[in-house]
Chains A and B, each alone.
Chain A
């Protein structure tokens, strides 16, 4: 077999021991730069290693997100972990297996072909040879770079991959301590923050005496320019101080937000960086123009657990424990702010509550590190307050999407322009244009930089899923990257995919109606991609689409389809809804094609979770602003979907084992939003274009109808 092009992860971490070690207790430790964020990646990567090495999963330990010993694989994002880290681990394990068998064959004076592996033991022509990975490991040079040259197993030989093995991390989570929040070394100091209201705001006064009175206990107040932290051996004391602090601080240069800035419509006409991507401008004037505009407001990650980190500075070395999505990038970002060499910092991942993108996790790590720097030798546990989590995490950007199409005589799009207004979708420090939050509060804040969005080769940001998978002769994107949104924005599950798919699939239903055709039949008439066709037809069958009633009865059935990033998993979703004054989603059928699935139950869990989160976004969620910033700072002002609002969900994967693994974590969000939008339009007989589909909007639509 020819050496394949190595995955980036292997090129950038060119030592076998960064990936794999055989430990004395007869386990094998696989290391990954990707981290567990509730998506089950650690288990799935363990499964891949177990198969490739022929060791049972019980012997595989996975070290994840560790700058001291594990590989640098940037951030855990974009449903890429199985493709990237999994692909690397598979190659590394195949290579180590081959090397181990070569060495064993030398020792046993036989051919490697005579050897097989069972439970990590090497059998010679079926009989125990007395050799195994652990007896041979010392003879392998693990400082070598992986070559990717060893043959990996054929899919048909997988025993563990493809099985729904239970998640390795879940037992701890239903019995006790399991998260970074739960680490409490002796002598730990608890810390909370007073946040600078916005970058550029300057602290004019702080009534420390009043804060101390509110705190009622031993309290240290640390100040550094506009950075203020409260530290106490007693958590409640630090918490009370921080809760009282905003009322006892005055700031100059605080921003003023106007009410319209809260809405996506505000984006149009703002200063932006403009690009045209795709086909040349349409030549002839439009003959049968049609257009549709949809919007999605700012939405929150709204993690159940507030951001938290531990940090300790000991003998000049800083160790940080964080639930961020990438420990190596975090280390680099911390080093840049603290003015330390990266070698002086170790960043270790510990589990946190689900984050669904770039939330406050990394910012909390810097908060903790800055405090630890002031109190050397003490372990600092920093946690955000609930209102801080809502008020200061980066939010998913609002988007306004207009589709202009020119139809052919059969009512199919002949020319299509997608116009997108959105702030940046990625301000991960070191990747996009953003900084760790507290850096802005220090004496020398970082310079303002021009915002960027992920390039289209990486799936785009605002443009993610803007290119329809349908057969369209000419398509172009006009992308307006709005440069100064009122609040910090960054990556949230799916980036621009949800609004873009919502737009495309709304258009499909509108065009089908104009053509007098069934929405599924209309789609299939311009969808030639075989895997896509199969999925749409299959989900429609499961949802008994052929029995779909007329529009405007209060009951609706709607479909949404997309292939995430046009290159990850395919998903088709049907939703049935009942609309009276508000929307009740009754049933959701979600079907995905994710190629070879490492852990089917884990993947289904991701599909279901994506459906529920998208339902919540579509029906309920909008970040609200007041004049100084984000005002929806608790679960009452930012409600999410509850148990009593849950539909029946059937989420399934089609057999895709003939194709490579495709990331599945984000594929259902766009199609789910679109399916609900279309079902509501079917139920009402009139479409609501702006998310969330609230009671007010339904009442307004009914008045119009």
Chain B
């Protein structure tokens, strides 16, 4: 079955059963590996993407349900040579160890900052609380999101 959707600003057409997970479509059909499988159970947040600006667990989201919608993955934020202020802030704070959790977290942080450009620590904690990080990089991650919020409010880009 053919599904039309927009991924990172580009119109894409994919051919997959409508019940295929969005995560599998992104990774295995579109080659966007920054979105990661952690549990497949909506329990860890490794697979988070934006669908029309809202954070969504791509592991449990059927591809058919995003037809006609706009999906943003970590690759849509920025590449190594053109980093988004959030990605830059994560590197500036060295916020991460293994890094497996990071792309999902950055995605949730993006959704937060789009809505709330000047978040409190509590806002950030709330937005990220659905994410797990086993390496214990939490404090750096919170600082990175605060740093990105500052940068973005001050109108500076990467």
Stretch at the interface among A90-98, A437-445, A555-563, A640-648: A640-648
Stretch at the interface among A171-179, A471-479, A531-539: A171-179
Q: Mark B93-122, 1 if CB is under 8 A from A, else 0.
A: 010111111110010000000000000000
Partner of B38, one of A166, A304, A351: A304
Q: Which residue of B lies closest to A354 (CB)?
A: B98
Complex contacts, A164 vs chain B, CB 8 Å = 94
CB <8 Å contact, A609 and B135: yes
A649 within 8 A of B: yes
Query: Taking the nearest CB of chain A, how far is it from the CB of B48, in angstroms?
Result: 13
Give CA–CA (A177, B74) in the complex, Å. Answer: 10
User: Given A177-B34, A609-B136, A646-B139, are A169 and B99 also a contact pair (CB < 8 Å)?
Assistant: yes
Give CA–CA (A170, B102) in the complex, Å. Answer: 10
Partner of B24, one of A39, A235, A601, A641: A235
B152 within 8 A of A: no
Partner of B91, one of A171, A644, A649: A171
Complex contacts, B37 vs chain A, CB 8 Å = 181, 305-306, 383
CB <8 Å contact, A612 and B39: no
Give CA–CA (A383, B27) in the complex, Å. Answer: 14
User: Given A611-B136, A644-B129, are A174 and B36 also a contact pair (CB < 8 Å)?
Assistant: no
A694 within 8 A of B: no
Complex contacts, B34 vs chain A, CB 8 Å = 175-178
Complex contacts, B140 vs chain A, CB 8 Å = 605, 608
User: Given A176-B75, A643-B128, are A353 and B142 also a contact pair (CB < 8 Å)?
Assistant: no
Q: Which residue of A lies closest to B34 (CB)?
A: A176
CB <8 Å contact, B134 and A640: yes
Count of chain A residues with a beta carbon within 8 Å of a chain B beta carbon: 61
Q: Mark B18-54, 1 if CB is under 8 A from A, else 0.
A: 0011001001100111101111110110100000000
Give CA–CA (A39, B135) in the complex, Å. Answer: 9
B156 within 8 A of A: no
Give CA–CA (A649, B43) in the complex, Å. Answer: 25
Query: Taking the nearest CB of chain A, how far is it from the CB of B37, in angstroms?
Result: 7
Give CA–CA (A643, B131) in the complex, Å. Answer: 8
Complex contacts, A179 vs chain B, CB 8 Å = 33, 36, 100
Give CA–CA (A281, B151) in the complex, Å. Answer: 65
CB <8 Å contact, A634 and B90: no
B66 within 8 A of A: no
CB <8 Å contact, A305 and B100: yes
Complex contacts, A304 vs chain B, CB 8 Å = 38, 44, 46, 98, 100-101, 132-135
CB <8 Å contact, A175 and B36: no
Give CA–CA (A303, B75) in the complex, Å. Answer: 24
Query: Taking the nearest CB of chain B, how far is it from the CB of A635, in angstroms?
Result: 4
Query: Taking the nearest CB of chain B, how far is it from the CB of A647, in angstroms?
Result: 9
Complex contacts, A613 vs chain B, CB 8 Å = 134-136
CB <8 Å contact, A643 and B142: yes
CB <8 Å contact, A608 and B132: no
User: Given A304-B133, A605-B137, are A175 and B24 also a contact pair (CB < 8 Å)?
Assistant: no
Complex contacts, B139 vs chain A, CB 8 Å = 608, 612, 646, 648-649
Q: Which residue of A lies closest to B139 (CB)?
A: A649
Query: Taking the nearest CB of chain A, how far is it from the CB of B85, in angstroms?
Result: 12
Complex contacts, B61 vs chain A, CB 8 Å = none
Query: Taking the nearest CB of chain B, how far is it from the CB of A95, in angstroms?
Result: 32
CB <8 Å contact, A354 and B97: yes
Complex contacts, A616 vs chain B, CB 8 Å = 136
Q: Mark B69-83, 1 if CB is under 8 A from A, else 0.
A: 000001101111001
CB <8 Å contact, B90 and A174: yes
Complex contacts, B27 vs chain A, CB 8 Å = 182, 184
A352 within 8 A of B: yes
CB <8 Å contact, A602 and B21: no
User: Given A173-B102, A179-B100, A646-B139, are A305 and B74 also a contact pair (CB < 8 Å)?
Assistant: no
Complex contacts, A642 vs chain B, CB 8 Å = 129, 132
CB <8 Å contact, B96 and A173: yes
A residues at B contact (CB < 8 Å) = 37-40, 164, 166-167, 169-179, 181-182, 184, 216, 234-236, 239, 302-306, 351-354, 356, 383, 385-386, 601-602, 605-606, 608-613, 616, 634-636, 640-644, 646, 648-649
Those 9 A-B pairs whose CB atoms lie nearest each other, nearest first: A612-B136, A173-B99, A38-B98, A353-B100, A354-B98, A182-B33, A38-B97, A177-B33, A609-B136
26 residue pairs bridging A and B, Cβ less than 8 Å apart: A38-B97, A39-B97, A40-B97, A169-B99, A170-B90, A175-B75, A176-B34, A176-B74, A182-B33, A234-B28, A236-B21, A239-B40, A302-B134, A304-B134, A353-B100, A354-B98, A354-B100, A354-B134, A605-B137, A608-B137, A608-B140, A609-B97, A643-B129, A643-B142, A644-B126, A646-B142
Q: A356-B134, A608-B140 are in contact. List 15 more A-B contacts (CB 8 A).
A: A170-B90, A171-B80, A173-B96, A173-B100, A174-B83, A175-B34, A236-B24, A303-B134, A305-B100, A306-B37, A353-B98, A605-B140, A609-B135, A609-B137, A610-B136
